[in-house]
Amino acid sequence: MDRQELSQLLMIGVPSGNDLSGVRRLQPGGVVLMGRNAGARAEVRKLCRAIAGECMEAPLIATDQEGGRVQRLVQGFTTIPSMRELGRSGANQVGIMASTVAAELRAVGVHVNFAPVCDVPTHAEDSVIGDRAFSDDAIVAGALAAEYIRGAQPSVMCVAKHFPGHGGVGVDSHHALPTVPEEADVRGTHLPPFRAAIAAGVGGMMVGHLVVPSLDPASIESEIAGAVTTPATLSEPIVSGLLRGELRFRGVVFTDDLDMKALQDFEVEEIVTRAVQAGCDQLLWCHSIDKAQQSLDALERAVRDKVLAEERVRDAIGRVKWAKRKFGVLES
């Protein structure tokens, strides 16, 4: 397996100033646009074309265009209310807004929107989800997420996040690794919106950096033994067992940003090897080209040394290629 194939597992950010040398060097399967890359619509379109032009095989181009606090592309784009506010306007308006946002993204060359948020905020000290969620009622949240997906996916791929649910913790995974309390009703409260997203045909799923002992008991047992706990991103029981096996999700599994401090106790090589072993298909590095380079080197070593099964890697590459064909990046 050559380096060009392995690079399909990477989705990388573009530095401020839109220097594309990292894209040219790494030839990633995906590129994510952040607020630092955003300009007027014509500028974003030009950037997306330039990104594609740097790659031997055009990458998926993604962004976070949720609305409210999280909207990367602003100038010349529709101002999107928070998902909570949008949800209050009813399912029909959710679908209309999703369709509008998706059409604007597709028009400038973006293929993937990291939305909708399917988390259900239940923790009293939740600081990261809040009004990014449609509702604190799991059934309502799921119904509105499904409506969003049906409105958007004729144009761009939706990615439901942050599986298996970030709303039940009081710690922001940007800053530390949260643990979902054992007494939290993960299956009854946090999983239903993701089930609804899968039933609606969502193309992508983003796994969050949070420890969920009720879904992977070994993740907390490792802490008792004095080792580092295992976040869902690196958990085979959660990604392959629950998401792929029990919930039968067949789309692309994205990690959340691997630069987040939730993973600061792990080395880059361990992160990428365990994430792919767990069942993740695209490894998201939003801020560090150097770490993306290290992760590609690590993947190459892991396949060569048979730490990573080639079958698992080819499965991940196949899913990325499927997404590219389905959403018009590559010809069917």
CA–CA distance, 87 with 81 (Å, rounded to integer): 9
What six digits make up the tokens of 173? 């995974």
Q: Which amino acid is at 302?
A: A
Q: Which amino acid is at 27?
A: Q
8 A C-beta contact, residue 190 and residue 243: no
What six digits make up the tokens of 51? 């990104």
Q: What share of the chain is helix, strand, coil (3-state, %, to 5)?
A: 45, 10, 40
CA–CA distance, 8 with 28 (Å, rounded to integer): 5
Nearest to 257 by CA among 81, 84, 64: 64
CA–CA distance, 77 with 100 (Å, rounded to integer): 10
CA–CA distance, 69 with 48 (Å, rounded to integer): 23
Peptide bond into 15 cis (omega under 30): no
What six digits make up the tokens of 5? 């194939």
Question: Residue 117 in 3-state DSSP?
Answer: strand
CA–CA distance, 61 with 171 (Å, rounded to integer): 29
Mark whether 174 is an active-site residue.
yes
**At 99, phi and psi to the nearest 5?**
-65, -40
Catalytic residue among 119, 126, 216, 256: 256
To the nearest 10°, the Cα dihedral for 171, 159, 16, 9?
100
What is the C-alpha radius of gyration for the chain, rounded to an integer number of angstroms? 18
Q: Which amino acid is at 15?
A: P
Mark whether 305 is an active-site residue.
no
17 conformational bin, left if phi > 0, alpha if psi -120 to 50, beta if neither? left
CA–CA distance, 181 with 215 (Å, rounded to integer): 11
Catalytic residue among 174, 185, 297, 315: 174
| Active-site annotation, residues | 174, 256
